[in-house]
Structure formats: structure tokens, C-alpha cells
Amino acid sequence: QVHFVESGGSLVQPGGFLRLSCTVPEVMRNRYYLAWYRQTPGNEPEMVASISGGDVTYYEDPVKGRFTISRDDAKNTIDLQMNDLKPEDTAVYYCNADQRYYPLHTWGRGTQVTVSS
């Protein structure tokens, strides 16, 4: 069973920034497309950004130009740098496999991001 551990969420004002980090199970190191997702109450998790083993990145339109995904395979982590945060970015953020290519694994606990003045 794989386990993801997300961290870095917080309360931040609109226009602020946060950096999230996810520890990725070693079995998924290097070769997987990995992604960040976010979930709001009553909704399914939605993917916001993805990164391949070769560092090819993908972003959904709402975060394009504001969020940056990166990975460090030596540390088994993927990060999400979030700039110019907006209230609509408020959600619980999770990492997992990129569902476009792989089945999702068990979700971690996520990390809460709240954007509010």
C-alpha cells in the first residue's frame, strides 16, 4: 500500500503565496506522472498540476501561470509553489498519481489551504 504525505497548507491572504510539499512512496519514484489535486466540500478531487518523470509539466487553466509543480526524486518529493493565491484556491490539496495515465492510489490526509482576508 502506498502512502502520500502532504504538508505546507495554511491560511493566507489573497495575493499571497504558499509552497506545498508531498512525500511520495518510493515505489512511485522516478517513473510515474505525479499530480497535485484539490478538493472542496461536496466535490471530487480535481487535478490542478502534473509532472512526468522527465519533468514535463501540465497545469489546469485556473492555476496556469500562478502555480508551479516540481519534483525531487532524490528526496521522493513533489512540491507545488502557489503564487497570487485567490479565495477560489481554498481547498484541501492532495498528491497522487496522474489519473490520466494511472489508477489513483489511496489518498493521503491532504493539507488545507485557505485563502481569505
Tell me the mean pLDDT in the region 106-115: 96
Q: What is the pLDDT of residue 53?
A: 86
Q: Which residues make Cβ contacts (< 8 Å) with residue 53, sequence separation at least 6?
A: 30, 31, 32, 33, 73
Phi, psi for 63 (deg, rounded to 5): -115, -5
pLDDT digits (tens, 9 = 90+) for 56-98: 999 999 999 999 999 988 888 999 999 999 999 999 999 999 9
Q: Is 110 within 8 Å of 3 (Cβ atoms)?
A: no
What was the pLDDT predicted at 43? 97
Close Cβ partners of 92 (under 8 Å, ≥ 6 residues apart) = 9, 38, 39, 40, 110, 111, 112, 113
Are 20 and 6 a contacting pair, CB within 8 Å? yes
The pLDDT assigned to 74 comes to 84
Per-residue pLDDT tens over the stretch 19-33: 999 999 887 776 689
Tens digits of per-residue pLDDT, 31-52? 689 999 999 999 999 999 999 9
